[in-house]
Amino acid sequence: MSASSISPGARPAHGIRRLAELVASYALVATTLAVLAAVLVLHWTGQEQAARWVGSAFALAMAAYTAVGMARDLLRGHWGVDVLAVTAVVSTVAVGEYLAALVVVLMLTGGEALEEYAGDRAGRELRSLLERAPQLAHRTHPGTGELEDVPVASIRPGDRLVVRPAEVLPVDGTLVSEQATLDESSLTGESLPVTRHHGESVISGSLNGGWAIEMVATLPAAESQYQRIVALVAEAQDRRAPLVRMADRYAVPFTAVSLIIAAAAWAWSGDAGRFAAVLVLATPCPLLIAPPVAFLAGMGRASHSGIIIRGGDVLERLADVRAVAFDKTGTVTVGHPSLVEVRAEPSHTGEEVLRLAASAEQYSSHVLAGSVIEAAHEAGLVLESSHEAQERATHGVTARLPSGEVVIGKRSYVAEWTGPIQAVSLSSGELAVYVAVDSAYVGALVLRDEIRDDARSTLRDLAGLGVQETMLLTGDAQATADHVAADLGIAEVLAECLPEDKVRVVERHPLRNVMMVGDGVNDAPVLASAHVGVAMGARGSTAASESADVVVMTDDLSKVALAVSIGQRTVSVSRQSIWLGIGLSVGLMVVAAFGFIPAIVGALVQELVDLASIGNSLRARTAGRKGSFRPSAVLAKTVDGTKVSGG
């Protein structure tokens, strides 16, 4: 219903309901304002004694309420800035400045309300993901062909769905319609709509364009892209950062300086009011509010770019990253190896080697297995089945086929059955899979997995952000890893390593603050143990995404550098806001010490300090050290249908 259709009589009722909601949401602020108004009325009507008693009693009650939480923190060994707030209220009441005491209480309660409001503004990208999650889907009944509305959770792979205009795709699937125009900005951060064609994959969370489309579900809702994002966002919102109370690190020195200035002003002037005036200006609202606002802003900025950061503590760790380790396949390479050549021994033909290799690879979960099987199908080869097969993770597969016992995998693995094997020569970007039948080496498959276009630029961006060392950790053969590392300029390489080897390297690295970037199931342990684990979640495994601290929801390696930049920016802005609040407060305290700022005026001036700190914290919504981060691999811009590189 539009605003113009609301009847005049309904408008006041709507306004009253809205006011009641605000009062309920910010009860302490509303109560403080009501008491302050009552005290002012008493003061202006000449009932000074009553005004003093009401104002002082309420201020002391609020100080006691704050002191209870402060005492719990002190018992846990946490000395916080709440000590100053309580001291300011008590001292102003003690010297008769009850109006100033009420303003300090209003600052404390209003500060919390302002934090909630600013955090709501800064975190709207995070919540928008949750709010847009579809609840129903339009499924075509397999028997009648009629559309039925069903809960999204009931969708299963193979279900045929209709997505109407302006609806969100409920699950991952394959497009049946000839074409679809989809807005994927909530997932990828790319503002321009994308066009998908018949047979292409479409991801849940995309917003459909101007006409209805048909699709076939390939994953249930719980495993689809959008629901994974929603789950990660929900978890991220529930986690608090240690840096949110970073101001507590400054609490002891700031409290000491404030008390020294206040005591010196009192001793020098003989006026206890100076003591109260100084402590009013020492009230630490900017220190309490600014850091959490900055962290919410940083997490919102990341989410808008297709990066899910699982908690503010991760932002702090991202800012400290000094070394980055990459998995190879699917991380710095495209992850879709293609068969280049079959190098068969004289005893077998190339087709026979490929057929046997693909038959055994049917029982492997490795990314290379799919490429070998696909190549065999394209060649029209008929594969054999096995009732006995075994895979040794990251090494290879042994399968007992009608044609014999086939072993396929790394050279060292196959050599355990055949004896020493001569390594085949490889070009840059190539890798070899060795094949043996009945303990006899029969040949090798040479595949090529291209390096990502954005891999080199990402490494340059990370170096520019202060990363001192990069590593390549992979289960692939040494020769293949060396080729890729040389092309990328990575000096440190660990090849043919198991998941536990990766964990050991990352945990024992001398720089300590190591970020690991990976995408496979075998990367899950090292992602969990690294200082920061980053999962390339667009094509990566659920296990990798669940164990990582950061999930890049698009197939874009440059987002790794962007995540580091956002972490650095957020922590930097948070610290700036704290020092801004401290600097302004100390400067104003010195002025108040000489009697130029009365307590009541100081309380009002401190509100401006609050606003300055919060405004500065919201700058964390822009990534990069100097306002915005622009990766070397700048996204191509489209002008009149022609792609051009933009800077």
Give the residue numbers marked as catalytic.
327
Q: Is 282 helix (H, G, I), strand (E, B) or coil?
A: coil
Q: Judge residue 392's burial from the number of C-beta atoms within 10 Å of its C-beta, 0-12 exposed, 13-18 middle, 19 or more buried.
A: middle
Which residues lie below 8 Å from residue 325, measured CB to CB, with a gap of 6+? 470, 471, 472, 473, 502, 505, 506, 509, 514, 515, 516, 517, 526, 530
**416 half-sphere exposure, CB direction, 13 A CA radius:** 12
**300 half-sphere exposure, CB direction, 13 A CA radius:** 22
C-alpha span between 626 and 272 (Å, rounded):
46
Gyration radius (Cα) of the chain, Å: 32
**Residue 398: DSSP 8-state:** E
Per DSSP, helices labelled H in 270-410 are 272-281, 285-304, 312-319, 350-361, 367-378
Q: Judge residue 218's burial from the number of C-beta atoms within 10 Å of its C-beta, 0-12 exposed, 13-18 middle, 19 or more buried.
A: middle
Tokens 């929603």 -> residue: 230
**Helix or strand (DSSP H, E) at 259:** helix 251-269
C-alpha span between 203 and 171 (Å, rounded):
7
Contact present, 247 and 79 (Cβ < 8 Å): no
DSSP secondary structure string for all residues of 203-252: -TTPEE-SS-EEEEE-S-GGGSHHHHHHHHHHHHHH---GGGGGGGGGHH
Phi, psi of 433 (to 5 degrees): -120, 125
**Helix or strand (DSSP H, E) at 478:** helix 478-488
616, 614, 623, 622: which is closest to 119 by C-alpha? Answer: 614
Sign of CA dihedral 184, 188, 193, 194: negative
What one-letter code names the amino acid at 154? S
Tell me the residue length of the chain.
647
Contact present, 490 and 325 (Cβ < 8 Å): no
Contact present, 411 and 394 (Cβ < 8 Å): no
Contact present, 423 and 435 (Cβ < 8 Å): no
Query: How distant, in Å, are the alpha carbons of 32, 348, 503 from that of 345?
Result: 87, 6, 38
